[in-house]
């Protein structure tokens, strides 16, 4: 396996190096070909690196900075003022080809803004999209984009998201013809707003994509399609609503199963089964959203990710770097656009 | 209790009179003050009314028609052509003051279009909204609107929805100061699209409303607010996504708890507890969405509603008629608008 270098914003997220460093060490043990450049405050990171095996230590580089993009910083502010922030320096390492991908658990808006300016979008792509993989029936993954990087999108942008989502699914899941759908209020052609209807027409004219038409909210988790496209306003609310209702169900179930001695006892005996279902729905187990459409790889972790969730996000960055995702998207998009124009 | 008359589109829904008639008979037994006018095909309805107590029979009137709005009919088509349909005749009974409310499980778009034209919107309301009550933590209901009647909305329309939702919650739940929130991609003031931001400003200027700011998707079911406002595109997808993920969890849980003899046995013993939670999340138990903002009461049942779900929707129509909801909304809106303009 060819060596691969990731740049990590070690300071991002709710817990900073306390989570990002141990998770990174796990990743280094898991992937012998992996090198990392940790960007952040030396005084917080170095104590977490003591007593390390020399093999692991030799694959870690540290770039020191004390500046951090705060969660409440506006994207424009972060872009203009946080020039020495751990987030920006990590993205610069990708821009300067010193790393093949970068990862941050920090402020999403700032990550999007800085990445877009430093890395630029691919030819044919107007705006990067935030995409993540959700659990569907039978553990079949489904990609949902955009998750909030673009609160409003024209039909052309939705079309580009569909192409990018399809290529991502091809690359990561080795799915030769991912089924792509547009999220809408009904499956009939007459349903929805102008953007969705026009995006549907564009997709129908693209024989290279496996377009499956409109899909409703209740079919997202059915496992019938592989990629679901919507604007960032809808996608963000859809994702968070799913997390909310899953949490409500878990809460109610736990409450129902802890009232009464007999019920509590029986529930305890089958707790592993119940927990395995609940864990499957836990957003942390699907951690790692990718900013795709850029000329470099940027992965976003949940700010509240724990060690294993952060490791998930690292693994996603590794997979995308191994597959050279931006190059794949660029080539497929070029070919699809040529096809439409002819 | 004053007598009250409901007009029922007996033909609407996936099962027509087979569900609507028995559910109506249950309602008549439950509410001794209730009279109903069933609109539909006499040959299908009358056989279901045989051997009835005379008290029940005396409170049923039948308006015969064989025309039905089909689920695939476009709203404009239904409006122009289905002049003798069971749906339209039921709405006309409300317009002509022969019934205090009407109920249909038929085509939502057609119901919205015909209701708007026949009943007209209240003064100060541009567009009716479809609203439903969802289950939150601790069985606290939360009203979500719009659920799909208006795929795109300006800030003024969102503001009107907030007023209507607040008055609905006051009327139905006797909540003196419902907390109203706007569904958005973040809780910070800078977040969201123009419509949501401007609607937020309008709501901040309305001291008569208990405006709680923006809310994210994962807080819908938290029980922290009483009314959540969004456009129909977002609302429809949010509602259906919730149903989808609830169904996925139920599916996974059932699968997990039926593999292996020991697990199956234990799960069976605590099945009532598990089922009570799952039933609570069952959309049928929250059946009945209201088209509010009209000069009459129109309630929509799920097309797939079973008898008990349809009964829920009848009860909702009864409650709204008892509280004279349109009048309440009209008065509150007038007072709120006066307050803003002064």
Residue A339, C-beta contacts closer than 8 angstroms, at least 6 positions apart: A206, A207, A208
Low-confidence ranges of chain A (pLDDT < 70): 1, 137-138, 266-267, 270, 273-274, 276-286, 341-342
* Chain-chain contact of A74 with B190 (C-beta, under 8 angstroms): yes
Which of A277, A281, A283, A304 to probe the B interface (max B CBs under 10 A)? A277
Tokens of B327: 């009048």
Do residues A70 and A121 lie in contact, with contact meaning Cβ atoms separated by under 8 Å? Answer: no
* Torsion angle of C-alpha atoms B246, B251, B253, B259, degrees rounded to 10: 180
Would you place residue B119 in the very low, low, confident or very high pLDDT band (cuts 50, 70, 90)?
very high
Q: Is the alpha carbon torsion for A318, A323, A324, A330 positive or negative?
A: negative
DSSP, collapsed to helix, strand or coil, labels residue A64 as strand
Closest CA to B148 of B130, B166, B128: B130
Query: What is the per-residue pLDDT for B54?
Result: 92
* B342 pLDDT tier (thresholds 50, 70, 90): low
SS3 state at B30: helix
Looking at the domain A1-124+293-323, which fold is it?
A: Isopropylmalate Dehydrogenase (3.40.718)
Backbone φ and ψ for A339, nearest 5 degrees, come out as -60, -45
Mean pLDDT within B53-76: 94
The answer to whether the Cβ–Cβ distance between B137 and A239 falls below 8 Å is no
Q: Which of A81, A120, A106, A150 shows the shortest CA–CA distance to A299?
A: A106
- Which residue among A184, A190, A245 places its CB closest to the CB of B221? A245
Higher pLDDT pick, B63 / A337: B63
pLDDT in tens, B309-334: 999 999 999 999 999 999 988 888 88
With CA atoms as reference, the chain A residue closest to B253 would be A277
Instruction: State which H helix or E strand residue B8 sits in.
Output: strand B4-9
Residue A277, chain B, CB below 8 Å: the answer is yes
Name the H helices within A34-175: 42-45, 54-57, 75-81, 86-95, 108-119, 155-173
Fold assignment, B1-123+293-324: Isopropylmalate Dehydrogenase (3.40.718)
Which regions of chain A carry the CATH code 3.40.718.10?
1-124+293-323, 126-286
Burial environment of residue A342 by CB neighbours within 10 A (0 to 12, 13 to 18, 19 or more): exposed
Percent of chain B exceeding pLDDT 90 equals 64
- The backbone region for B324, taken as left when phi is positive above 0, alpha when psi lies in -120 to 50, beta otherwise, is left
**Nearest residue of A to residue B239 by CA position?**
A217
Which of B238, B247, B249 is opposite residue A238, by nearest beta carbon?
B238
Rounded mean pLDDT of B160-189?
92
Give the pLDDT confidence score for residue A90 in this predicted structure: 98
Q: Which of A72, A243, A249 sits opposite B246 (nearest CB)?
A: A249
Share of chain B above pLDDT 70, in %: 92
Confidence of residue B225 (pLDDT cuts 50, 70, 90): very high
Residue bearing tokens 């502010």:
A77
pLDDT of residue A159: 95
Tens digit of pLDDT for each residue in B124-173?
A: 899 999 999 887 766 778 999 999 888 889 999 999 999 999 998 988 88
Give the model's pLDDT for residue B268. Answer: 72
Please give the C-alpha separations between residue B322 and each of B32, B172, B329, in angstroms, as whole numbers: 14, 10, 14
Any idea which residue has 């608008």 for tokens?
A: B337
- HEC states along A101-129? EEEECCCHHHHHHHHHHHHCECCCCCCCE
Average pLDDT, chain B: 90
Q: What ipTM was assigned to the predicted interfaces of this complex?
A: 0.85
pLDDT at A304: 85
Tokens of A157: 């942008």
**pLDDT reported for residue B191:** 87
- What pLDDT score was predicted for residue A197? 94
**How far is residue A204 from each of residues A153, A192, A197, A208, measured CA to CA in Å?**
19, 16, 11, 10
Q: Are A150 and A231 in contact (CB under 8 A)?
A: yes
Task: Please give the residue of chain B at the shortest CA–CA distance from A146.
Answer: B185
Q: Which residue has the higher pLDDT, B333 or B205?
A: B205
Predicted confidence at residue A54, as pLDDT, reads: 92
Chain B contact present for A234, CB below 8 A: yes
pLDDT, one tens digit per residue, over B19-34 is 999 999 999 999 999 9
A189 touches chain B (CB under 8 A): no
Region(s) of chain B under CATH 3.40.718.10: 1-123+293-324, 126-286
Cα A289 from Cα A279, distance rounded (Å): 19
Strands of A10-49, DSSP E: 34-40
- Domain A126-286 class, CATH top level: alpha beta
* Cα–Cα dist A123/B138, whole Å: 51
**CA of B50 vs chain A CAs: smallest distance (Å):** 39
Per-position b or e across A284-323, b if 16+ CB within 10 A of its CB: bebbbbbbbbbbbbbbbbbeebbbebbbbbbbbbbbbbbb
Locate B56 and state its tokens.
């029940």
Higher per-residue pLDDT: A309 or B93: B93
Under an 8 A CB cutoff, do B274 and A281 touch?
A: no
Which B residues, 148 through 177, put their C-beta within 8 Å of a C-beta on chain A? 148, 151-152
- Smallest Cα–Cα separation from B320: which of B339, B285, B294, B340? B294
Q: How far apart are CA A246 and CA B245, in angstroms?
A: 7
Angle between helices B17-30 and B307-322 (to 10 degrees): 50
What is the rounded distance in angstroms from the CA atom of residue A130 to the CA atom of residue A119? 15
- Cα B225–B231–B235 angle (5° rounding)? 65
Q: How confident is the model at residue B284 (pLDDT cuts 50, 70, 90)?
A: low
Q: Which positions in chain B touch A259 (Cβ < 8 Å)?
A: 273
Q: In the prediction, which pLDDT does B19 show?
A: 96
Q: What is the DSSP track for A207-233?
A: TTSEEEEEE-GGGGGGSS-SEEE--HH
Contacts with A294 (C-beta within 8 Å, 6 or more apart), sequence order? A115, A116, A119, A120, A121, A122, A128, A326
Q: Say how far apart CA B236 and CA B250 lie, in whole Å.
A: 21
Cα separation, A54 vs B189, whole angstroms = 49
In chain B, which residue's Cα lies nearest the Cα of A139? B252
Distance CA(A93)–CA(A5), nearest Å, equals 10
Phi, psi for A299 (deg, rounded to 5) = -115, 140
> Quick one: DSSP state of residue A253?
H
């Amino acid at each position: 396996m060819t060596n691969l270098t990731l740049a990590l914003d070690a300071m991002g997220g709710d817990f900073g190096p306390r989570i990002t460093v141990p998770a990174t060490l796990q990743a280094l043990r898991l992937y012998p070909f992996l090198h990392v450049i940790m960007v952040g405050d030396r005084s917080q990171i170095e104590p977490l690196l003591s007593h390390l095996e020399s093999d692991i230590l030799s694959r870690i580089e540290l770039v020191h900075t004390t500046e951090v993009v705060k969660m409440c910083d506006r994207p424009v502010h972060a872009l203009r003022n946080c020039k020495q922030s751990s987030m920006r320096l990590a993205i610069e390492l990708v821009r300067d080809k010193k790393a093949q991908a970068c990862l941050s658990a920090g402020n999403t808006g700032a990550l999007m803004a800085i990445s877009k300016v430093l890395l630029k979008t691919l030819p044919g792509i107007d705006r990067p999209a935030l995409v993540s993989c959700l659990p569907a029936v039978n553990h079949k993954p489904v990609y949902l984009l955009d998750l909030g990087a673009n609160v409003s999108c024209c039909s052309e942008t939705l079309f580009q998201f569909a192409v990018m989502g399809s290529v991502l699914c091809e690359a990561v899941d080795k799915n030769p013809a991912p089924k792509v759908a547009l999220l809408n209020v009904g499956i009939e052609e007459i349903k929805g707003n102008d953007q969705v209807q026009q995006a549907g027409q564009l997709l129908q004219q693209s024989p290279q994509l496996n377009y499956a038409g409109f899909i409703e909210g209740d079919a997202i988790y059915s496992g019938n399609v592989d990629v679901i496209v919507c604007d960032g306003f809808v996608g963000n609310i859809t994702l968070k609503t799913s997390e909310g209702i899953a949490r409500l169900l878990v809460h109610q179930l736990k409450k129902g199963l802890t009232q009464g001695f007999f019920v509590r006892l029986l529930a305890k005996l089958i707790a592993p089964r119940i927990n395995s279902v609940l864990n499957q729905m836990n957003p942390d187990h699907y951690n790692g959203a990718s900013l795709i459409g850029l000329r470099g790889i940027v992965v976003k972790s949940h700010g509240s990710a724990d060690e294993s969730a952060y490791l998930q996000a690292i693994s996603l960055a590794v997979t995308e770097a191994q597959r050279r995702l931006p190059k794949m998207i660029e080539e497929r998009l070029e070919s699809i656009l040529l096809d439409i124009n002819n």
